[in-house]
Amino acid sequence: MSAKTIIEYLAKNKGIDVQINGDRPHDIQIHNPAFYKRVLMNYSLGVGEGYMDGDWSCQDLEGMLRRTLESFVKSENVSILTSIQNRLFNMQTAFKSKKAIQKHYDVGNDLYQAMLDPYMQYSCGYWKDASTLEEAQLAKMDLICRKLRLEKGLKVLDIGCGFGGLMRYMKDTYEVEVVGITLSVEQQKLANERFGIDTIFLKDYRELSKSDPNSFDRIVSTGMFEHVGYKNYPAFFKAARHVIKDDGIFLLQTVGGNVSVTRPDDWVDKYLFAGGMTPSITQLGKVWEGSWVMEDWHNFGPSHSKTLNAWDKRTKEFFKTTDRYPVRFQRMWEFYLLGCKVNFDLRTLQLWQMLLTPNGFKGGLDRVG
């Protein structure tokens, strides 16, 4: 039985409404017969790399991914070696984390400037009352600040501060003192050049445990926790607890999953976020038990679909203006953004904002939305 026949049988058995060399926009067109073997060897890598290499194409990539992800359930024997590695070893050590961050976030500030809003927010916007990416990101930053109950003079730490846009917004709007940490040299550089932020330090979050205790009134972290890895969740929250004051407030924004995972997706791990994985409610709850009080948990996952859609459109327009990024990279970026968008549309991925306090806020914290 040929690899093609096996793939066609599996697709039909799973009820995947995508035909090989069909005439519908969401049907895939195969240009290299070797593609079938690549998929059988490793579904995630085979499909992703196959698209990047031009082994297959599709007029409606988003429609194809939606129909496939709705129906397909990965086999348990895919990438057994990767699964074993992640269970036995810490794949997000300080050294590996630095390399992973630099690989993704140092790819080119010109790309991020074209893709993102003026505040360079590389995390989900808040689209409740927004109609543009700029409005959604301003609404997200405003929401974060109101949840943190920012007041003039407070000292705020941004863990994984990105390009510094949120720090600039907090500083200008609330006159707070802001400090950020990142592992990306390019993010630190742009934050200084674009936003005039010179209080961002190249530091791993684990180093916070060696800093002065109880030194921050507020802590915020948006879009960084996905890089931490489940083995390091305790270390992350221990470091945050070390530097926050007893009456402080910590806001964590992260992509979350419906099930607990202990290994990354193979394609995402190789090309985008090395060692990255999404936490589950169970994993977070176990880490917080006895150490943090959950004040609020806000899920606005559908907003991320709109954010990713905006990023995809802006990126495609940008690629038309430059020859710096090869076609293979462009196809990889498209597959990344649309693949994530579909997962948020299908609600297999969530976007959480969680408000934590060390001992419980006196009198409680009213919901801010």
Q: Which residues are catalytic?
A: 340
What is the C-alpha R_g of the chain?
21
Pairing of strands 244-257, 349-357: antiparallel
177-182 sheet: strands from edge to edge: 200-202, 177-182, 155-159, 216-222, 244-257, 349-357, 293-299
Pairing of strands 155-159, 177-182: parallel
* Residue 261 · residue 79 · CB < 8 Å: no
Specify burial of residue 75 (Cβ count, 10 A radius: 0-12, 13-18, 19+). Answer: exposed
SS3 for 219?
strand
Residues 270, 247: Cα–Cα separation, whole Å: 41
Kind and range of the H or E run holding 37: helix 35-41
The count of other CB atoms within 10 Å of the CB of residue 181 is 22
Residues 167, 203: Cα–Cα separation, whole Å: 16
